Amino acid sequence: MTKPEKLQQNGLTGSPLEGEVVIDAHMHIGKFYNFLIPRSEESDLIASAGRIGIQRMYGSSTVALRGDAESGNNDALAFHAKYPDKFFPYVVFKPNYPEEADRTIALAETGKIRQFKIHDDGNDLPFDDKRYSPLYEYANTTGAVILVHTFGKKQVVPIMKVADEFSRIKILLGHSGIFEEEVYSEAVRKHDNIWLETCSSFAWYGLIERLVAMGGAERVLFGTDMPFMSPDQQIGRVLFARITDEDKRKVLGLNAQRLFA
C-alpha cells in the first residue's frame, strides 16, 4: 500500500482529527417519523462528534422541521445553552405558519443567532414563495446564513432567485450534488453568496472532487446530517477524496469557520 496523506491515514485508523478544524455544518437534534434512529440523544451526538474530532456542530431540530417550529427551536436553544462551545442552533423558519414569522425572527434576534434552516418537507412550498419574505428580508440585513434542504433542481432553482435578490444572505445548499449535479454547479458559479454542503447518504463516487471543481474548495462545507445518518460514513467521503489535504482542511472546517464568523 502506498503511503497515504495524513488525513486519509486518520480515515484508515479511525483516529480523531486532532489538531484540525472540523465543523459539522449540517446536523439535527431529535427523532424522525419514517424510520428508527436508535441513538439520537444529545449525549449520543456529542459522543459521535468526539470520536471523529468534530469540534462544532450546527444543527436544527427535527421537531421544528416536521411540526412545531417554536417548540423545536427552543429545544435547539436549550441544547446550545448546555453545550455552548459545541452545538450551535439553526433556527427553523416555517412558511406555512406565517403567524409565527415575527416570533421566529425575534427568537433569533434575542439569541443572537445568525443561522437559519428551511426545508420543504411536508409544506412543499417553493423557496421563492412570498411567505419566506420576512426571513429573507431579516437575513439580508444581518448577513445571516440560511441552510437550505435541497434534492436537486426543485429546490436549487428557486433559491437561486433568492440569492439574486438578497445578496447579503449566505446560502448553504444542503446535500449538494445528491441529484442533478449540474444545477449545483450553476448555482455556485453564478452566485458569490452560495456555498455547497456535502452530506448525503448516497456516497456517490467522486462527488466531493466534483463539488470542489464546481466553485473551488473554498465553497464546500462538510456536513453529516447526523443522527439521520452516520457521521462515520460522511467523514470518509472527505478523508478519502482525491483532493489535497489542504483542500480537505478547507472543506472540513476552515470554510465553515469563516462562514459562521
Binding site for other proteins (CB under 8 A): 1-2, 4, 8, 11-14, 34-40, 44, 47-48, 51-52, 201-208, 210, 226-237, 239-241
Q: How far is the CB of 7 from other proteins (least distance, A)?
A: 11
| CA-to-CA separations, 31 to 25, 40, 42, 59, 102, in angstroms, rounded | 19, 7, 11, 13, 27
Shortest distance in whole angstroms from residue 21 CB to other proteins = 18
Residue closer to other proteins (CB basis): 147 or 208:
208
Strand-pair category, 56-61 with 145-149? unpaired
Shorter beta-carbon distance to other proteins: residue 25 or 163: 25
Pick the closer one to other proteins by CB: 193 or 233.
Answer: 233
Q: Report the nearest approach of other proteins to the CB of residue 96 (Å).
A: 25
- Which residue type does 145 have? V
DSSP 8-state code for residue 250: I
What span, in angstroms and rounded, lies between the C-alpha atoms of 140 and 130? 15
Nearer Cβ to other proteins, position 8 or 104?
Answer: 8
Smallest distance from other proteins to CB 48, Å: 6
Shortest reach from residue 110's CB to other proteins, in Å: 31
176-to-141, 188, 199, 223, 260 alpha-carbon distances in Å: 26, 10, 7, 10, 19
Three-state SS at 33 = coil
Which residues touch 187 (CB under 8 Å, ≥6 apart)? 156, 159, 160, 163, 173, 194
Nearer to other proteins, 53 or 158 (CB): 53
Min separation Cβ 1 and other proteins, Å:
5
Say if residues 188 and 194 touch (Cβ distance below 8 Å): yes
Of 206, 200, 156, 197, the closest CA to residue 178 belongs to 200
| Rounded CA separation 99/236 (Å) | 42
Retrieve residue 226's grid coordinates.
447526523
CB of 217 to other proteins, least distance (A): 17
